Each structure stands twice: as C-alpha cells, then as structure tokens.
Amino acid sequence: MRKTGWLVFMALCLPVAVSAGQLEPFKDIPIPLQNPQTPEKIELGKKLFFDRRLSGDGTMNCGTCHDPEQGYSDGLDISLSYPTTKNWRNSPTLFNVGLQKTLFHDGRAESLEDQAIFPMMSAYEMNQNLDFVEEEIRSVPEYVAEFAKAFGDPEVNLQRIAMAIAAFERTIVSNDSPLDRYLGGDTKALSPQALKGYEVFTGKGQCVNCHYGVNLADDKFHVLNVKENPDHLKDPRIAATRRFV
C-alpha cells in the first residue's frame, strides 16, 4: 500500500518537475486593469521614484536603494536605510519586478501598487508620514498638473502616488539580454563561454530545477538554513540599534 501511494505521488509530481525545468524568453509584463499604463503616468511615476520628498527628512528616494547604475539595487550586502540606521536585508533588483508574484524578502506585498507604499512608511527605510507625503506632493504645482494629465483630474492622493510608481516600475525590464535573444531563437546571441555555462545550468548542474521560467526563479520561499549575517554581531551597538558606528 505504501509503495502504491508513493508511486501515485511521484506520478503527480513528475509533470510539475518536467515543466518547471524550463527557461523562457522574456514576455510582456502583465498590466492590471485598474492601473493601465500611459506615457503620462509612467513619467509621473519616474519623477516620484527619484523624489526625495517621499522620505521623512528629504534625504532619500526609491533610487537610493534601487539605483539604476547598480542594476536597480545598491550593490551592498546590507542596505543603508533611513539616515543613521541600517537595514537587516539587502535591496533586491527591480529588473522584471512586474513579473514577480510576491514582493519583498518576506512576501508581504502581492502587487507593485502595495509594494510602493511600504518603504515610505517603514522606520528603517524612508520613514515618512503617509499623510505628510500627500500634502508635500500636493503643494507642488507641477505635480498637480502632472497628476491631472496622468489620471484625468488633479487629485493627489497616496493611492495615485503608488499607482504611478508601480507604472514606472513595470517598465524596468531586461528584455534584450543575450539570454533572452538566445531563448527567442537567436542561436548566436550567447558567446561560446556563455553557451557552455548555459549547458551546465540547464544540464548536469541542474540549476534550472529551481531557477527556471522568465525570471530564473520559482517565486516560492525556501528554508535554506542560511545563518544570520555576521556583520550584525560584530558590534553590539549595530545589533541593538541598527545604527552606523
């Protein structure tokens, strides 16, 4: 009975495993019906993304941790945070973020519109009062005009701020990488060395068993038994207060 049950289990799992181990070329970012893309909204979102008014003391913006020059991350093992503090995680890249099913390291947001709000109100990130950010953006005449162009009327509110930022983030894509071109049928897109790596990745290395699809990930959470970052323990002041020392 146990053997039969095990065989049934394996039979059910096998199709999933086979389909999972496939890389896919880049595909269009899905756009939610309630937040359609427009050039005006994307441009507004880009302006907000790099606006330091979104932080409590006006020293940080989204690009502080998601720098285009650093692949829309920050290149640090532990991200800097609101002035005089540091975070306990690093900043993930925003490339192809519109394809992800869950957002943040803990998966607490399921849409880019929700995600855009969390860093603003986090004490360890931008530390902004959400009521204040509406008033600050509303007080800028240029913004009022741009909100009118993007949304059809000049109302400025937190939901629209998040929608505009999300619209911009959906344009951050890597759709013309050599790998995308190779998977799309261009057999000469990869260098000989990269092609050897691809063969290992999809073959004997079995990397593709976990890193598959468009984003080379499975959008799931896994217990990897990774130990706590030792930098947190080098100085008790860092571990206790998260402050630069």
- Residue 15 pLDDT > 50: no
% residues pLDDT > 70 (the chain): 84
Task: Over range 138-147, report the average pLDDT.
Answer: 98
Model pLDDT for residues 208-221, shown as the tens digit of each residue: 999 999 989 888 88
Task: Report DSSP letters for 48-89, one per residue.
Answer: HHT-GGGSTTSS--HHHHSBGGGTSB---SS-B-STTBB-SS
Residue 123 above 50 pLDDT? yes
Tens-digit pLDDT profile for residues 182-198 = 999 999 999 999 999 99
Output the CA–CA distances (angstroms, integers) from residue 167 to 113, 155, 173, 226, 233, in the order listed: 8, 18, 12, 34, 39
Active site residues: 125
Q: What is the pLDDT of residues 228-240, one digit of tens each?
A: 767 666 665 554 5
With bands split at pLDDT 50, 70 and 90, how would you rate the model's confidence at 76? Answer: confident
H/E segment holding residue 19: helix 2-20
Q: How much is the mean pLDDT over the chain?
A: 86
- Amino acid letter for position 197: G
pLDDT in tens, 144-186: 999 999 999 999 999 999 999 999 999 999 888 999 999 999 9
- Dump the DSSP string for 88-138: SSPPPP-TTGGG-SSBSTT--BSSHHHHTTHHHH-TTTT---HHHHHHHHH
Q: CATH for 39-169, among 1.10.10.10, 3.40.50.720, 1.20.1270.10, 1.10.760.10?
A: 1.10.760.10
Give 2-14 pLDDT, tens digit per residue: 444 444 334 444 3
pLDDT of residue 159: 98
Inter-residue contact 195 to 146 (CB < 8 Å): no
Is the pLDDT at 227 greater than 80? The verdict is: no
Tokens, residue 152: 């059809």
pLDDT at position 152, please?
97
Instruction: Kindly indicate the confidence band of residue 37, based on its pLDDT and cuts at 50, 70 and 90.
Output: very high
Return d(Cα 231, Cα 48) in angstroms, integer.
33
Taking alpha carbons only, the member of 29, 49, 35 closest to residue 96 is 29
